[in-house]
Every structure is written in structure tokens, then in C-alpha cells.
Structure 1
């Protein structure tokens, strides 16, 4: 199966992203992306080119974090990582999977005063809702309709 056969389609991502971006003025933007770095949805105001670059780098970051954590923790290679958080002087960037087996993530960036606990809680709630939605809708079939 190629990634194009399993990539979900979310016509309006605002139902997932708005509850996260509206938490605090410190939340800069949010993305829904596939594990191969393709943008599935982006918060309002995030330019498409910027979102695509961030999504590609986020997929690489998540994969590297999973490999490093599994090696450091002596975990099996396929062990999932639930959250990756990166902080620097300019703020915080968090990545969280949207359910199990969806190959979809939510990523959020915010300023240094972003309320991380609150944002992580809402992200987890929205990720769960998104994962449930994605698992209830069959993936697009390649080359035509599924029978």
C-alpha cells in the first residue's frame, strides 16, 4: 500500500485545530500531518509552503526521536512514541499521534509562555477524536472506488 492510498482527507480541519489554537494567544499554529510529512490540515494563518516545510521536518523529527528513544530505552524497534516536545528560547513545539495505526499526527507550536499542560491536554483530546474519526472512515482506494 502506498501512502496515497491511506492518507486521510479532512476537508475542514478547524474542528480539530481550533480548540487547540484558541487556548491561548501563545499558541502560534497547529498542523495535522501524515507520518510521511504531508500536510493534512493547517491552522488559519499558516501559509501552505510553510506548513509543508514544517510537516516534512516534523515527520523526520518524530522518526528520529522514536529511533533514539527506542535505542536508549532498549525498546523494540516498532515501539510508538506518544509525544515529542522540543523547547528553546523562542517557545515549545509538540507532536502527538492521532490514535493508534492512523499514521497521522497533530503538531502545535507556541511561545515561551504557552501553557504546556493545558495545550497537551487539549491536544490529546483532539488527537483522540481525530483518531476515532480516521479509523471510522475507510482509506481512499487507489485507481477507483472500493467495492
Structure 2
């Protein structure tokens, strides 16, 4: 499924992203295609001191960089895991989690937080990602993201693409 088709089927991504961003400590949530194209972004992209003063273009650039990096992260993580575990090359990833230790610029020694990435179900070639602070319960984020990713996959796969021909 192409990113443009996916974006057309998810005209309003808030039903996917809002349950994630309402969890205290979540900085941003994204839906991205496997090639790194942004399909949906939460309204919470301005949380945190560093992002609060960004103009719209700077926010968009930041989201594009994060999206491209997530796409690369997924590919590299998958290749490394397949090789290290001796798994078949088509073995899917269920979750990638990156935790950053103490932020060296932090005045109070607080860790920077966690980035979690999950594939959207149903063969959509898309990912759901969320970045959150150290006090946010990872289990709640993981459960919410897994539920949203599954529901998004079901919704997208239940709507036929404009490019689909007539049913035979």
C-alpha cells in the first residue's frame, strides 16, 4: 500500500493518535509509512521546552527528520535482529524501543525518555511511533499503541483502495 493511499484512508489520524497523546508524558505520536513519509502527526508536537518555541516550518522539519529516522531505524533493527537471531529475512518486528539515558543538558539529571515504534497491522507497511518521558509507564504506552495499531490496520484493510479493480 502506498503512503498516499494510506494517507487518503486516514484523513483524520486523531482517532489513532489522541489515545496515545492523552497519556501523561507523551511528547509526540506519529503514523509513518515504511518509506518514512509522515501520514499522521499528533497535535502534541510542541510539548517540551525545546519544541515549544518552534514555528510551523521548524515543527514540520523536525517531524520529517524523526519520520525518516524511524524508517531507517526499523530497517536497521530488523536486519540486525534477523542476522543475530538467525531468523528468516521476512520475520516481522513487533516493537522497537530506544531509551535515552540522562540528558547531559538537563539541569536536574532527568533521563531524556523513550521512543517506541510498532508496525501497523494488516500489511499496511506503516508504523506507529511515540516518544515519551521517563516517568511515563512503558506498559501503558505499549498496550495503547498495540491496540491503536491493530485497529488502524483493521480499518485500513477493510476499506478498498481507489486503485482496486472490481471484485471478482
Whether TM-score is above 0.5 comes out as yes
Unaligned runs of 5+ in 2: 46-58, 102-111
Q: Please list every run of at least 4 consecutive aligned residues from structure 1 whose deviation after the TM superposition is greater than 3 angstroms.
A: 3-8
| 1:20-31 to 2 correspondences below 5 Å | 20-24=20-24, 26-31=25-30
Over alpha carbons, which structure has the higher Rg? 2
TM-score, structure 2 normalization: 0.78
Q: Distance in 2 between matches of 1:43 and 1:7?
A: 17
Q: 2:84 and 2:76 mapped to 1: Cα distance?
A: 12
- The equivalent residue for 2:95 is 83
Structure 2 residue aligned with 1:18 = 18
- 2:156 matched to 1:128? no
Q: Match of 1:110? A: 132
Report how many residues are paired.
142
1:48 positional shift: 2.1
Measured in 1, the distance between the counterparts of 2:146 and 2:3 equals 26
**What corresponds to 1:34 in structure 2?**
33
Structure 1: 5+ residue stretches without partners: none
Q: Is the 8 A contact 2:3 2:39 kept in 1?
A: no
TM-score (norm 1): 0.89
Aligned counterpart for 2:80 among listed residues 34, 45, 68: 68
Alignment partner of 1:33: what SS? strand
> Residue 31 of structure 2 contacts residue 128 of structure 2 at CA under 8 Å; is this kept in 1?
yes
Change (3 A) 1:12 1:4: closer
CA RMSD of aligned residues (A): 1.8
Structure 1 match to 2:123: 101
| Of 124-133 and 40-49, the range deviating more from structure 2 | 40-49
Which secondary structure state, in structure 1, belongs to the residue aligned with residue 116 of structure 2?
strand
* Structure 1 counterpart SS, 2:43: coil
* Higher RCO (CA < 8 A, seq sep 6+): 1
Q: Secondary structure at the match of 1:138?
A: coil
